[in-house]
Amino acid sequence: MATPKRKTSHARTAQRKAQWLGALSAPSTTKCPHCGEVVVSHRACSSCGFYKGRQVIEVKEKV
């Protein structure tokens, strides 16, 4: 079985884990162009259901 030629240094392990922790942070957000609500980018708006200028999901009104 193929094995690593060298031991992974503490510095290299720390660099990899720093990247992994960075990916865990909060997703990037933008303002919805339709209603102005803060939404997760590349996702349909949770308050009005719009994405790319058209209605893509039905949104139940909050009572």
Residue 31, token pair as written in the block: 């303002």
Nearer to Zn ion, 35 or 56 (CB): 35
Closest to Zn ion by CB, 8 or 28: 28
Question: Please, are residues 30 and 41 in contact by the beta-carbon 8 Å criterion?
Answer: yes
Q: Tell me which residue has tokens 């009005």.
A: 48
d(CA 31, CA 33): 6
Give the count of residues interacting with Zn ion (CB under 5 A): 6
Return the residues of window 4-63 that contact Zn ion according to CB under 5 A.
32, 34-35, 37, 45, 48
From first CA to last CA, the distance across the chain in angstroms is 61
CB of residue 61 vs Zn ion: minimum separation in angstroms? 13
- Give the residues lining the site for Zn ion (CB under 5 A): 32, 34-35, 37, 45, 48
